[in-house]
Structure 1
């Protein structure tokens, strides 16, 4: 497989799943624009085909301007990976409107804006691949995860609807749905769960690990491998799918 000449955009590309996918795409020859809120984080990992660009996916004007700048610099976006998101649990009756709106703005509005702006240049080409990063919480409910799960269900609905809009054209839209991945999000949530539930950090971490059917955290590179498959040869008939990566049937 060669992605030479292809421009990829990966949101939330400075750490975790996004960075693993960005590096995998760059290794196959793509020029990859990685975005995140903090330029210094992006600068630390830029190079070897990765180009950092601070962008807040919640801000429509910022997304419009930054995607235009990326296209001007590296050509039309033909691979779009909408990965930026936040994950935090909270009991439903304790959930404020501010908490709800911030997560929806990041996890769902951000995906909508990223895809809308990327498609403007992608549809001017003859090939494109869109990958959204949902979650296993996008296909099932999670304790204390009403808001997060709602946003990730929404991401799958958006992805599937777009696959129908462009059916028969050389563009595909698929969602990856990981269970718990070994990223900084798990580290942060370990502390949050420990404090919220009054349990040890070891017990808090185990509560996430045990959700995964094979009882281990998933490596970010495993998610990246799935993304590479979806942009590689022979994947053109995989469209509108929510692909679970959870170590077994959920």
Structure 2
């Protein structure tokens, strides 16, 4: 290789996240928390939400060790709580230029789910995704990014999780259409579909000690692995749209 080749020819543009402003739903635990910490550590200012006060306090404590962030407890299944989240985010951030739409709850088989649970789960796992994305996109200027956190469940479509599959398959289709709708506004839309990932989301079937065992055996992902994928999407030049990343375990999980 010619040692005189300038570095600008050796790699693509690598934009900084310093000074960017990110809203992150479900940012208090699991994947959302890992993304919030990584972005804050890269110089972005983050505003997160979650359902549990102790999880919010814990996430903000860690975020503030590496950067700047704030957040609020909300239940995104309720329309007025979506409004409250974005009103609080406006106060802290002003206009966001990153939105990570991530908050979700477990959902199982249709026949095993009560009607109340069905409406709550679909409100959180699908309707709130659309509502939060709409709120974020309407605030964004050119040069902004939306990242939707989906799931490999949209592909595997395993029995026992039909409601969750319905929501995540819907998000997969939504991402494709929204990308086309926002592309001319220079708002990028990326979808990340994680495989089997360790988080409190997996309790009680996979308690902490079991998750550690599976992660060490390369049969479960860490939330930080998904955060790295989000970081990769956000560090691309504007001409480049990384439209989807699927992150799977190297070995098949049990």
Q: TM-score range by the shorter chain?
A: 0.7 to 0.9
CA shift in 2, pair 1:87/1:235, >3 Å: farther
Deviation at 1:233, TM superposition (A): 2.9
Mapped to 1, the partners of 2:241 and 2:201 lie a distance apart of: 29
Kept after mapping to 2: 8 A contact 1:23/1:50: no
Partner of residue 246, structure 1: 248
Contact conserved, 2:46 with 2:68, CA < 8 A, in 1?
yes
Partner of 1:195: none
SS at 2:116 equivalent: helix
Maintained 8 Å contact 2:56/2:72? yes
Aligned length: 230
Using the TM superposition, name which of 43-52 and 137-146 deviates more: 43-52
Question: CA-to-partner distance for each residue in 1:45-101, whole Å, 9 max, x for gaps?
Answer: 2123121211221111221232122123212111100110012433x4333222221
Superposition map of 1:69-218 within 5 A: 69-90=88-109, 92-122=110-140, 125-190=141-206, 215-218=218-221
Q: TM-score when scaled to structure 2?
A: 0.82
Task: Give the counterpart of 1:220 among 223, 233, 243.
Answer: 223
- Moved >4 Å (runs of 4+): none
1: CA distance, partners of 2:238 / 2:108: 35
Secondary structure of 2:203's counterpart equals helix
Structure 1: unaligned runs, 5 residues or longer: 192-200
CA offset digits 1:89-123 (Å, max 9, x no partner) = 33x4333222221211110011111111111211x
Q: How far apart are residue 215 of structure 1 and its match?
A: 4.9
Report the counterpart of residue 6 of structure 2 in structure 1. none
Higher Cα Rg, which structure? 2
Contact 1:31 1:49 in 2 (8 A): yes
The equivalent position to 1:43 in structure 2, one of 33, 57, 74, is 57
TM-score normalised by L of structure 1: 0.83
Maintained 8 Å contact 2:219/2:250: no
RMSD: 2.5
Residue 71 (structure 2) aligned to one of 52, 73, 91: 52
Instruction: Quote the Cα distance in structure 2 between the aligned partners of 1:221 and 1:182.
Output: 10
